[in-house]
Chain A
Amino acid sequence: MILLRAVLLTFIFIYPVKANTIYNLIKIPNLEVYKINTQNKLKYFYATSSFRLGVQKNIVCLNPNKKDLDTKYNTIYKNLNKYSYNFLKKINLKYIVLCENLSISGINTAGIPDNIIKTLILDIKFNKDYFERVIHHEVFHVINDQHKELFNESEWIKFNASNFKYSECSTCTEKLGLNTYNKTKGFFTEYSKSTASEDMAEVYSHLIFLNTEKINQIRKSDIILNKKISYIENKIKKIDNYFTF
C-alpha cells in the first residue's frame, strides 16, 4: 500500500498539469478537433485513441481510421446541417464525437446522447445501410432527453392496438431490424416495437428521412402511424415553430 502511494505521488509530481480544453468542456478523454467552424455551430471531435466513460467505465469507443472518418464526416455533416443553430440550442446539442465500435456494457449502439454535456457520441461504423437515418434517430433521443415533459409515453402507447406491448428495454429484445416495412401496420421498423421512445425516434427519423410524398402515402394507409407522425410533428413544432421536416 505504501509502495503504491509512493508510486502515485511520484507520478503526480513528475507529470505536469496539461489542460485539455475539450476534456474540460465535455469530460471525454482522448479527443481532438475535427471541424469547429460549421454553419450551425456544431463542433465535431474525433477520438485519437479509445476511451471509456461512465461510472463503471462501461461505455467504450475506439478511434476511427482517417479514411473512414473523412468519408463518414461528410455524411454526418450533410445530415446534421439540416438543423439550425437555434434548434440545436433549444435541444442543447453542440458537440459531436466521432468514434468507432461504440458500445455500452458490451452491446453495440449507434449513438449515445448526453444533453447535460451537450454531446452526441456517434459510431461512424454503425449499420452502413441505415447510417443516415440512424443519425436523426439519435438526434431524437437528444430532443427527448432535453424535452422529456413533451413526449409522454403513456399517451404514445395508446396509439397502438390494445393487445400490443413494448419490451422492457431497447436491449432486452430481439426486435432490432432497421429496414422499413413495406406494410407498416403502426410501426416503421421492427426496432420500433422495442420501446415507446425507440418507436418515437424511428417515427422522427423517418419523418426527416423520407420525402413528403412518401410520408403522405403512409399517413393515408396507416391510421396508427398517421397519429404517431402528427404527435411527433406537433411536439417538435412546440420546441421550434420554424422547424421544417
Chain B
Amino acid sequence: MIKKIKASSSEKIIFIFLILLGIITSGTYFVIKNKCLFIKNYNPKNINFQNPDNIAILNAPCGNVIIELYPNISPKGVKRFEALIRSNAYENVAFHRVIKNKLVQAGDLEFGKKGSLDYGKIGTGKSGLGTIKSEIDNKFNYVKGSVGLARTFKNDTEDSQFFIILQDEPLFEGEYTPVGKVLYGLEVLKKIKHQRHSEYILRPDFINSFKMLN
C-alpha cells in the first residue's frame, strides 16, 4: 500500500516560487528578444504634414521612419534621392554601416541587396545613375535625425547611399549633402542592428520599403 504524503507549507511555497520564476524568466526572454516591443510605429495617414509632397516613409524592422525632404536646400541631391525612392530601389537594401547612437547608413544598391549581399564590397556599390555634385554651400544644421547623402573621400561622388544621424554632428555641415530630416520614428533607427566592435554589420537589418507619401 502506498502511503500518500502531504506536502508541507514550506514545500508548497518553494513550488509556487519555482513556477513564478519560470514564468518571469520565459516572459523576460520574449521581452528581450522582441527589440521592437516599446517602439511606437507611426502611421503617416494619421499625421497632417505641412509639405506632404516632400514626405518619404522608410519602413525598417521596428516600424516607420517619416522623413521630410528638403529640395530647397539640395535640389539635385533630393531629386536623385526621390527618384530612387519612387523606383523602389531601396527595398531590401541593407543598413550596412551602423554606429550605435551615432548613425545608420544604407543605400548600396549594388552590393547591399538582400539575397546578394557582398560583404567584401558593401559600401562601395553604385546605382548605375552616375554620381552627382555635392551641394554643401547652403546653411544646414546637422542635428539629430538629419539625412545626408554619403560619398567617398572626395566631393561630387554622391550616388545612392545615404545616412541618418542619431546625434548632432555640427562638423557635417559643409561636408555632406543634406537631403532631409526625420520627423517621426528616430527610435526605430536606434533599434537597427549594430555591432559592438565593427561599423560594418554582419547579417544586417534591411529596409522593408521606402516610399513617397504622395
Residue in A19, A22, A37 whose CB lies within 8 Å of B102: A19
Q: How far is the CA of A16 from the CA of B153 in the complex (A)?
A: 24
Q: Does B197 count as interface, using CB distance less than 8 angstroms?
A: yes
Contact A43 B198 (CB under 8 A): no
**Additional 9 contacts, C-beta under 8 A, given A17-B198, A43-B171:** A16-B196, A17-B99, A17-B100, A17-B195, A19-B103, A36-B170, A36-B171, A37-B170, A94-B174
A105 to B28, CA, bound (A): 59
A residues less than 8 Å from B110 (CB atoms): none
Q: A12-B197, A13-B197 are in contact. Are A19 and B99 (CB under 8 A)?
A: yes
Cβ contacts under 8 Å, B99 to chain A: 17, 19
Per the bound structure, the CA–CA distance linking A29 and B91 in Å amounts to: 37
CA distance A69 to B199 in the complex (A): 34
Chain A residues within 8 Å of B195, by CB: 17
Q: Which residues 166-201 in B have Cβ within 8 Å of A in the complex?
A: 169-172, 174-175, 195-199
A-B contact count (CB 8 A): 30
Per-residue B-contact encoding for A152-177, CB less than 8 Å = 1, 0 else: 00000000000000000000000000
In the complex, A8 has a CB within 8 A of chain B: no
A15 to B197, CA, bound (A): 6
Closest residue to A86 on the B side, CB-wise? B137
C-alpha spacing A25/B197, complex, angstroms? 20
Give the residues from 49 to 87 in chain A that come closer than 8 angstroms, CB to CB, to chain B: none
A12 to B195: give the CA distance in the assembly, Å. 12
Assess whether B174 is in contact with A21, with CB atoms less than 8 Å apart: no
The answer for the CA separation of A109 and B95 in the assembled complex, in Å, is 44
Contacts of A239 on B, CB cut-off 8 Å? none
Contact A25 B175, beta carbon cutoff 8 Å? yes
Q: Main secondary structure on chain A at its contact with chain B?
A: loop
Interface residues of A in 1-47 (CB under 8 A from B): 12-13, 15-17, 19, 21-22, 25, 33, 36-37, 41, 43
Instruction: Write out the residue numbers on chain B whose beta carbons fall within 8 Å of the beta carbon of A41.
Output: 174
Q: How far is the CA of A94 from the CA of B102 in the complex (A)?
A: 23
Interface size band for A: 10 to 19
- State whether B199 touches A22 (Cβ < 8 A): no
Instruction: Considering the complex, give the chain A residue whose CB is closest to the CB of B99.
Output: A19
Task: Give the size range of B's interface with the partner.
Answer: 10 to 19
Q: Which of B169, B171, B172, B197 contacts A16 (CB 8 A)?
A: B197
Q: How far in angstroms is the closest Cβ of chain A from B176?
A: 10
- Can you name 14 A-B residue pairings with CB atoms under 8 Å? A12-B197, A13-B197, A17-B100, A17-B199, A19-B99, A19-B102, A19-B103, A21-B171, A22-B171, A25-B175, A33-B171, A36-B171, A37-B170, A94-B174
Within 8 A of A (CB), among B91-141: 99-100, 102-103
Residues from chain A with a CB closer than 8 A to the CB of B171 are 21-22, 25, 33, 36, 43
Residue A17 contacts which of B170, B172, B175, B196 (CB distance < 8 angstroms)? Answer: B196
Shortest distance from the beta carbon of B38 to any chain A beta carbon, whole Å: 24
Across the interface, which residues of B come within 8 angstroms of A22, CB to CB? 171
A92 vs chain B, min Cβ distance (A) = 9
Specify which chain B residues have a CB less than 8 angstroms from the CB of A94 in the assembled complex: 174
Of chain A, the residue at the smallest CB distance from B196 is: A16
Q: Mark B142-172, 1 if CB is under 8 A from A, else 0.
A: 0000000000010000000000000001111
Q: Which residues of B contact A33 (CB under 8 A)?
A: 171
Kindly provide the distance from the CB of B139 to the nearest chain A CB, expressed in whole angstroms.
10
Assembly CA distance A94 to B172 (angstroms): 12
Chain B residues lying within 8 Å of A37, measured Cβ to Cβ, are 170
Which residue from chain B places its CB closest to the CB of A117 in the assembled complex? B153
Q: How far is the CB of A210 from chain B (nearest CB, A)?
A: 32
Give the residues in chain B near A19, CB-CB below 8 Å.
99, 102-103, 199
Which of B170, B171, B197 has the largest count of A CB atoms less than 10 A from its CB? B171
